[in-house]
Structure 1
Amino acid sequence: MSANPLSAKLTKLLSSSLDDPKLRTSLTALSEFYSVNAVNARHNLRGDIERRATNVNYEFLQELEKVNMQFLELEAEMNAMNSLCQEMQDRLNLANVKTVTLLEQTDALREQSKICQVRQTILEAFLDRFTLSESEITILCSTAMEVTPAFFDALEHLENIHADCNALLITEHQRAGLEIMDSMRTYRSISYDKLYRWMQSECRTMSRPDGMMEVREVTKKAIQALKQDDQYFRSILEELVHVRRNAILRAFIDALTRGGPGGTPRPIELHAHDPLRYIGDMLAWLHQTVASEREFLESLLSSEKRNRDRGQAEIKLPKASPLRLVENDASDSEILDSLLDKNLEGTSRPLKSRVEQVLVSQANAITAFKISNLIKFYSSTIEKAIGSEASLSKTLHEISESSMQVFYEAIGKQSADLLRHPDAPGTDLGPTPTVKETVSQLKEIMKSFDTSFVQADEGNQDFAPILGAMIDPLFQMCEIAVANQSAFNRAIFMVNCLHYVQSALVYPFTTHKVDDLEKQIQGYVEIVVDEQHMVLLKQSGIAPIIQAMETKDDKTPLSQVPNMDPASISTVLSRLDDFLGSVNLDLTAWLSKIVSSRLAKNISTQNVKMFVDAYRRLCKAIEDPKNQYEFPATILVRTADEVEMLLVEG
């Protein structure tokens, strides 16, 4: 069955979705001209739509015509431009053909220009490195211009050029190097001559005696620069030595005779009556001057820059130089030490003459020793600053030896007087006034030595001769003084004197002598002990028995020796208790003459031991069957242990 068109349209209409964009767009466009829903409007709707489409197409066609006309105009213009471009290309091709030679020449010139620019740069660098500017030449050579830091910058540039010319001599530019070196040598000679003359006048201003002038930086640079020329440098140092030596000598003489500015401090020679102060003031002035002069020279010779490794050799001074440097290659330190020595050399003679005048009139041993210590102290201190080979160090060493010689001469004279007039001991056998006076003198000398500048490991060695010079003659005098007395009295007197001297030796540098005296004391103690032991044996009555025991024939019994029978021995031993009761009083009386309680106690202990040992030998001999004593217990009143107990407790 054929479909009903109306039904089909309705179906299509009903199946259409209102959300379809096309439908919505169509309805929107329809609403612009279909405003009345009438029958005629509905019948004419298709015609209206087609008519409107026709109008739209007509409008589009008109606009497209305008665009077409514009494209035609554009085409015409492009054709005209193409013609012009072709014409220009033809002209360029023609011009290129005509200018190809010119372009080649231009390229060649451009390459030559680059080469010239490189050569110009090299030449400018060469001239900058190997030539001086006009201003630098004026600064170096003009005598009208002062020496300023700019002078040293120019001089350094000159030295660099001179050194760099050595590199040219090993290339193909030897001629240029020789010519430049020749011109630089001329400028160098003129500039160093100018610097030398300027430095000469500068040295003349360094005449202040205190050596504490402020050294200008330009002066330091001048000294360092002159090191590059041996002759000029040597001459300047000689000029400096001349100025400084005269200034220091003049200042030393003024300090001795005139004093400081306005009389403060006072002249040193005003204290000539006081040898220690007089010599001490002179040495103190020299010590201060050495320090200030060294500081001045260090400031003068110091340099901010080290010599370059290339082209600047160390200064070499001949061995014949007045500065007397040990080697040709002189460091700043060696130059400074040599200058310091020469600058202070002038003070040696006035110092030595004045010290010798004091020593000639000096007879007191203590004062002479103190002077020697004082000189030795300053000699050691100054020697560290200027060296042992310096003239002033040698002078100080000489006057130190002279002062010690004066000391030994005074001690020798004193010792000779002691030996000529020995001081006899008193009844107490104690140290004599002479011994005490000598020890008192020795104490003062040891105190002075202890407070002086002496190295710890050299103290014994330095002081040993002094101890020997003072003590040995003293003990000789003591031995002479008691030569006519008994051995016991001589021993006690010598023990007292030796101990008195030994007790004064309390310093580390006297240890060796203390040991020697102790050995001597022990020798005399043994004499005292032996003498006293014999006395005790005699007082106790057992001396004959001990002697008989030691002298009898080994085959003969002791009981058969005359006076050694039991009855005789019993008689002797019966009085032993009385002896034991009084022996300690006797020991105390004898030993009271020993000054040292330690030695007295030691002697007493040894005496008791020796007596007990002798009595013990006696007991053993009586108890020995070989000696044929019957009933030995009835003979021996006391055992050896009882005797020892009684002696120790008593």
Structure 2
Amino acid sequence: MNANPLNAKLTKLLSSSLDDPKLRTSLAALSEFYSVNAVHSRHNLRGDIERRGTEVNYEFLRELEKVNLQFLDLEAEMNEMNSLCQEMQDRLDMANDKTVTLLEQTDALREQSKICLVRQTIMEAFLDRFTLSESEITILCSTAMEVTPAFFDALEHLENIHADCNALLITEHQRAGLEIMDSMRTYRSISYDKLFRWMQSECSTMSRPDGMMEVREVTKKAMQALKQDDQFFRSILEELVHVRRNAILRAFIDALTRGGPGGTPRPIELHAHDPLRYIGDMLAWLHQTVANEREFLESLLGTERRSRDRGQAQVKLPKASPLRLVESNVSDVEIINSLLDKNLEGTSRPLKSRVEQVLVSQGNAIITFKISNLIKFYSSTIERAVGSDASLSKTLYEISESSMQVFFDAIGRQSADLLRRPDTPGADLGPPPAMKETVSQLKEIMASFDTSFVQIDEGNQDFAPILSAVIDPLFQMCEIGAANLSAFNRAIYMINCLYYVQSALVYPFAKQKVEELEKQIQQYVEVVVDEQHIVLLKQSGIAPLIQAMETKDGTTPLSSVPNMEATSVSTVLSRLDHFLGSVNLDLNSWLSKIVSSRLAKTISTQNVKMFVDAYRQLCDAIEDPKNKYEFPATILVRTADEVEMLLVED
């Protein structure tokens, strides 16, 4: 260990760090008063530092004394402030003690004010809900004021008040409810009386015949409002029916006799010489009027337009006045249909009388049928619009039945003439002239029916009696005329007549009759085939052979039957080739009078088949050992298959 003090001191100095913050601070403070680095100064450094510290402390004490004096001043001021605050608190306590009663009274009054405000609000709401304002009373009751939209607002308020009073009757406010209801009942009676009288004057303006006048919104509202009073509503409907019925009847008569404004369109009766157009124009006018009147009534009663097929076509109305309808609480659709019935009722009599006059003077069956078809079409169309129980619907149904009866009467007269003077068949056995004329008439009738918009199912049902009325007498005439013909010629004649009529029935609604005629044709075809088969058997020479084969008893051999010996049979069959060479020519000659090549071919085919079957049976009998023919192959010139082949090839 080195004990040299200098060395130790140097070591300490060298090991100390000049970056020490305390050292740097100390040196910075020393530099403020230690300016000369002299020996004397270094020896007195400690004393200078201590003296410097003493001076700093004295300076701090002087400054601290100033702060102490300021704190003393602050303390005095705070004491004074505390005294003032205490004084103010004492005064506030005293004031609170004096005003506590006033505050309690103020709170009580404030609460009472709130209660009064709530009561005022309730009272105002009550008065607004259960009383009418002066202006509303004036609008509802004053006859000097017109009916305007404001009238209906006030009336709705009145009705709401009247309804709300029912709620009061089940509370402790029954007396108030009764008094309010009494006053509202008075106002209601006056307002509805005013509305009814106003609506009466409105009805008097609804006399335009076309029914297409514009209905004002206020009028619609008036009708809706009057529905709430059955008596007034019934009276208004009666007034409306009276006005509209007269207007429509007057318009119909004018359309018949005077025409439209300025003569356009021309009067319908100018076409009275043309029955079809005359009746068609009348029915078209009524159809258009029904549509216009329905649109007018729907607009007036404020109902939505409904589909004719879905709604009105299904309506079956009772025969009742609008009064009955209102009492029954039925729908607007039924009310409208009843009003339509009443409004159009007046047109039934003039329409029926004019149509009947035309039918009485009409002798042409075709024109009569077209008229009947036309009436039926409009009858079904108008019936869907107004209902089947409406007066106009019933009238149209009656004249439709009358026209159809006139048609059947005309057909009956023609049929009677045909049966009194039946045509005799010609040499060609074709349809007689009377049949051709009648079928031509039937074609025109069917063409008219086909364009009449009648449903197919209905057509099949409705047209069947017409076909029977026209066709059945024709065939009776043909049977009477062909009474003197042979069965063969009569059958061919009837086939030609039946086929001629059947060919004319080309419409779907005649399908059932076509099938009936086809069955009758087949019956006569069987007659022709049977008759011709007998002739063919005779011409071929095998008729006696077939007869002997069919009539012999079961125990006797066929070869033992007289004229059925092998030589006799061989002789007959040897002439078969000559017959087979000419048989088809004979068939064609016989069947040439049949107008239908299809039927002629069918008859020919059946005849060949029947002849081949008969010959095959004969061959089988000859080849059968039981019949004791020796060498059957030498007897049979042709086999059945060969005969069939020759006949088919030819």
Q: TM-score, normalised by structure 2?
A: 0.88
Match of 1:419 in 2: 419
Superposed CA offset, 1:386-427 (max 9, x none): 221222221211111111111111111111111011111110
Letter in 2 for 1:130: F
Match of 2:130 in 1: 130
Match of 1:597 in 2: 597
Distance 1:59 1:382, change over 3 A: farther
Q: Distance in 1 between the 2:519 and 2:611 partners?
A: 24
| 1:114 and 2:114 aligned | yes
Distance 1:515 1:102, change over 3 A: same
Distance 1:111 1:471, change over 3 A: same
1:324–1:338 contact (8 Å) kept in structure 2:
no
Q: Distance in 2 between the 1:633 and 1:5 partners?
A: 177
Letter in 2 for 1:133: S
Match of 2:312 in 1: none
Of 578-587 and 133-142, more deviation after overlay is shown by 578-587
Letter in 1 for 2:597: S
2:479–2:494 contact (8 Å) kept in structure 1:
yes
2:322–2:338 contact (8 Å) kept in structure 1:
no
1:348–1:392 contact (8 Å) kept in structure 2:
yes
Q: Distance in 2 between the 1:417 and 1:70 partners?
A: 156
Q: Distance in 2 between the 1:490 and 1:533 partners?
A: 16
1:208–1:247 contact (8 Å) kept in structure 2:
yes
3-state SS, counterpart of residue 207 of structure 2 = coil
Match of 1:242 in 2: 242
Match of 1:196 in 2: 196
Match of 1:394 in 2: 394
Shift of 1:145: 2.4
Q: Distance in 2 between the 1:478 and 1:626 partners?
A: 51
Shift of 1:26: 4.7
Distance 1:180 1:203, change over 3 A: same
1:319–1:325 contact (8 Å) kept in structure 2:
no
Letter in 2 for 1:403: S
Of 132-141 and 552-561, more deviation after overlay is shown by 552-561
Shift of 1:442: 1.2
Match of 1:217 in 2: 217
Letter in 2 for 1:167: A
Shift of 1:541: 3.5
Q: Distance in 2 between the 1:632 and 1:37 partners?
A: 181
Letter in 2 for 1:176: A
1:165–1:177 contact (8 Å) kept in structure 2:
yes
Letter in 1 for 2:434: T
1:546–1:614 contact (8 Å) kept in structure 2:
yes
Q: Distance in 2 between the 1:595 and 1:290 partners?
A: 53
Q: Distance in 2 between the 1:561 and 1:19 partners?
A: 170
Letter in 2 for 1:603: I
Superposed CA offset, 1:164-191 (max 9, x none): 1111100101001111111111121222
Match of 1:466 in 2: 466
Shift of 1:473: 0.6
Shift of 1:469: 0.5
Match of 2:311 in 1: none
Q: Distance in 2 between the 1:114 and 1:6 partners?
A: 102
Q: Distance in 2 between the 1:280 and 1:319 partners?
A: 28
- Mapping of 1:425-504 within 5 angstroms? 425-504=425-504
Match of 1:159 in 2: 159
Match of 2:385 in 1: 385
1:192–1:226 contact (8 Å) kept in structure 2:
yes
Match of 1:265 in 2: 265
Letter in 2 for 1:412: G
Distance 1:405 1:21, change over 3 A: same
3-state SS, counterpart of residue 456 of structure 2 = coil
Superposed CA offset, 1:1-30 (max 9, x none): xx9999999887766644344444454455
3-state SS, counterpart of residue 457 of structure 1 = helix
Q: Distance in 1 between the 2:406 and 2:117 partners?
A: 89
Q: Distance in 2 between the 1:327 and 1:622 partners?
A: 96
Shift of 1:647: 3.0
Q: Distance in 2 between the 1:141 and 1:571 partners?
A: 126
Q: Distance in 2 between the 1:430 and 1:281 partners?
A: 44
Shift of 1:638: 3.8
| 1:147 and 2:131 aligned | no
3-state SS, counterpart of residue 132 of structure 1 = coil
| 1:282 and 2:279 aligned | no
Q: Distance in 2 between the 1:138 and 1:66 partners?
A: 94
Q: Distance in 1 between the 2:533 and 2:9 partners?
A: 175
Q: TM-score, normalised by structure 1?
A: 0.88
Shift of 1:479: 0.7
3-state SS, counterpart of residue 325 of structure 1 = helix
Letter in 1 for 2:512: H
Which runs of no fewer than 5 residues in structure 2 stay unpaired?
305-317
Shift of 1:625: 6.0
Shift of 1:102: 3.1
1:382–1:393 contact (8 Å) kept in structure 2:
yes
1:203–1:243 contact (8 Å) kept in structure 2:
yes
Letter in 2 for 1:183: S
3-state SS, counterpart of residue 483 of structure 1 = coil
1:369–1:403 contact (8 Å) kept in structure 2:
yes
Q: Distance in 1 between the 2:264 and 2:238 partners?
A: 33
Q: CA RMSD in A?
A: 3.2
3-state SS, counterpart of residue 457 of structure 2 = coil
Distance 1:607 1:321, change over 3 A: closer
Q: Distance in 2 between the 1:68 and 1:645 partners?
A: 161
Q: Distance in 2 between the 1:321 and 1:569 partners?
A: 95
Shift of 1:461: 1.5
Q: Distance in 2 between the 1:326 and 1:475 partners?
A: 59
Match of 1:315 in 2: none
Shift of 1:431: 0.3
Q: Distance in 1 between the 2:30 and 2:554 partners?
A: 180
Of 492-501 and 618-627, more deviation after overlay is shown by 618-627
Match of 2:366 in 1: 366
Which runs of no fewer than 5 residues in structure 1 stay unpaired?
305-317
Superposed CA offset, 1:603-622 (max 9, x none): 22222233333334444555
Shift of 1:50: 7.1
Shift of 1:291: 1.9
Shift of 1:51: 7.4
